[in-house]
Every structure is written in structure tokens, then in C-alpha cells.
Amino acid sequence: MDHGRPKRAMTREDWYERFPRVREAGWGIADDGFHEREVTHEAASMLAHVPIDEPWLGAEIGVAQAKSASIMLHRRPLIRLVLVDNWIGWREVREIADHHLSRFDPGRYTIIDRDSTEAAAQFPDKHFDYVFVDASKTPPKYRMDLEAWLPKVRPGGIFAGHDVCRFVKDGVDHVLEDVKVVAAAAGAALNLVPEWYSWWWKVE
Ligand SMILES: C[S@@+](CC[C@H](N)C(=O)[O-])C[C@H]1O[C@@H](n2cnc3c(N)ncnc32)[C@H](O)[C@@H]1O
């Protein structure tokens, strides 16, 4: 479909003109490869585990503007990523994600524009070297994602995610509670990294 886009590359101002809500919401857009100068908490969590010299296959569940995904593709040049998001309620952000990812070889990433829990069923068990879960944090969805995606990580791989130690509702950190329940059921040694609001364990 022709959205009246300029034929030259879209700049940040082009995006703001086209989607004023994007500017108002402060959603990140990079003209100049922000992934070369910035590391998000989410990417920091993943970079800590993903080797630089191995062709790991990862999945990020909840992609948003593909900020962390871009950082990963840039800083781990051998990895390939499956990127899952349904972008419900902010479809323009899907276009921003496409814009950010367009600087990478399309063979290095696959976008799955689908509900996070449903998307897990597309993959065989033990398929991924790492999975990072960062989609909905509303109970019971986060736990559903954890249970759907954990079997998709190979033994020795990394299962991780975001937003623990961050949101407390009615005195409960629901994300942390869900992570603890799933870790206990798996007999996993759960690690928390509060400064990045992240958690991880090595899958046995
Ligand atoms: C916190 S953002 C992800 C941030 C991203 N990981 C990063 O580091 O920049 C959460 C994302 O999860 C997506 N999401 C929420 N519920 C979802 C669902 N049921 N299925 C797929 N994606 C979902 C939202 O559209 C949103 O883009």
C-alpha cells in the first residue's frame, strides 16, 4: 500500500509527521543507529549471556520498536532472532520496528506478528539457544508465556525476561511471582538482576 511515504529513507521527523502520536508518546526512533551508542536494560540482560562468536538462535517475546533487537543484531553479528509481537494498539510501532530492523540482513531475523503464547506452538521444543520474555505483564499472561516458551529452549541455553522488581500491584510483584513459580516447577536456579529488572536461568 502506498502511504505517501517519501522515496528517500524515512527520518525521525518523517515518522513524527506521519504518526504524531509517536512523538507525543516519546517512542524511540533512530535515524543514526542508536544501537551503536545505547544499550537497553533488556539488551544488557541478553548480551551478558549470548556469546559473540557463536551463531546462536534467539527469540525475543515482545519487541516494541525493536530497540533491543537491533542492539542484539548489531553487537552479536552471528546471531539470528525470532521476534514475536502482535503490536495491538500501537500498529505504528510495528512500522518503526521494521524501520530499525531494515539496516540488518533480513536473513538474520524473522518477525512473528502474533499473540506471544500462540506463537510458541510454531516451534519444536529445544529449538532456541535463548528466549527473552518481555511481552504482556498482566496476570495470567506472563506466566502463560513463560510456560509456553520455556520448553523451546535447549538444555544449556538461557531462559530470561524482563520487568521483575519493577511493578508492584496490591503489594505483589506479579512478574516476580510468576517467574518464581515457573522456576520452581522446572527446578531451575533463578537469578535476578534488579538493576536491569531482569531475571534468567540456565536450562538444564
Ligand atoms: C515492554 S514492550 C517490549 C520491549 C522490547 N523487548 C525492548 O527491549 O525494546 C512489550 C511488547 O509486548 C507486546 N505484547 C503485549 N502483549 C502481547 C501479546 N499477547 N502477544 C504478543 N505481543 C504482545 C506489546 O505490543 C509490546 O510491544
Every domain of the chain and the residues it spans: 34-202
Whether the CB of 135 sits within 6 Å of ligand 1:
yes
Whether the CB of 111 sits within 6 Å of ligand 1:
no
Residue type, 103: R
Which of these, 139, 140, 161, lies nearest to 149 by C-alpha position?
Answer: 161
Q: Which pLDDT does position 170 carry in this prediction?
A: 87
pTM: predicted TM-score of the whole model, two decimal places: 0.92
Q: Could you give the CA distance from residue 68 to residue 162 in angstroms, rounded to a whole number?
A: 12
Which of these, 113, 114, 108, 164, lies nearest to 134 by C-alpha position?
Answer: 164
User: What's the count of helices (H) and strands (E) in the chain, helices before strands?
Assistant: 8, 7
Which residue puts its alpha carbon closest to atom 25 of ligand 1? 87
In the numeric block, the cell 504482556 is attached to 136
Q: Which pLDDT does position 119 carry in this prediction?
A: 98
Which of these, 174, 182, 172, 109, lies nearest to 145 by C-alpha position?
Answer: 182
Show the cell assigned to 146.
513463560
Residue of 73, 116, 143 best suited for mutating to test ligand 1, as the one with most atoms within 8 Å of CB: 116
Full pLDDT tens readout for the chain, 204 residues: 444 444 566 788 888 888 888 888 888 787 655 566 678 999 999 999 999 999 999 999 999 999 999 999 999 999 999 999 999 999 999 999 998 899 899 999 999 999 999 999 999 999 999 999 999 999 999 999 999 999 999 999 999 999 998 989 889 999 999 999 999 999 999 999 999 999 999 999
Residue of 22, 27, 82, 134 best suited for mutating to test ligand 1, as the one with most atoms within 8 Å of CB: 134
Which residue puts its alpha carbon closest to atom 19 of ligand 1? 115
Q: Could you give the CA distance from residue 154 to residue 128 in angstroms, rounded to a whole number?
A: 6
Which of these, 159, 158, 197, 193, lies nearest to 175 by C-alpha position?
Answer: 197
Helices (H), 57-135: 67-75, 91-101, 116-120
Residue of 29, 65, 86, 101 best suited for mutating to test ligand 1, as the one with most atoms within 8 Å of CB: 86
Which of these, 5, 27, 6, 41, lies nearest to 100 by C-alpha position?
Answer: 27
Residue type, 67: K
Show the cell assigned to 134.
518481555
Atom of ligand 1 nearest to the CA of 43: 8
CATH topology assigned to domain 34-202: Rossmann fold (3.40.50)
Whether the CB of 198 sits within 6 Å of ligand 1:
no
Q: Could you give the CA distance from residue 154 to residue 158 in angstroms, rounded to a whole number?
A: 8
Q: Which pLDDT does position 2 carry in this prediction?
A: 45
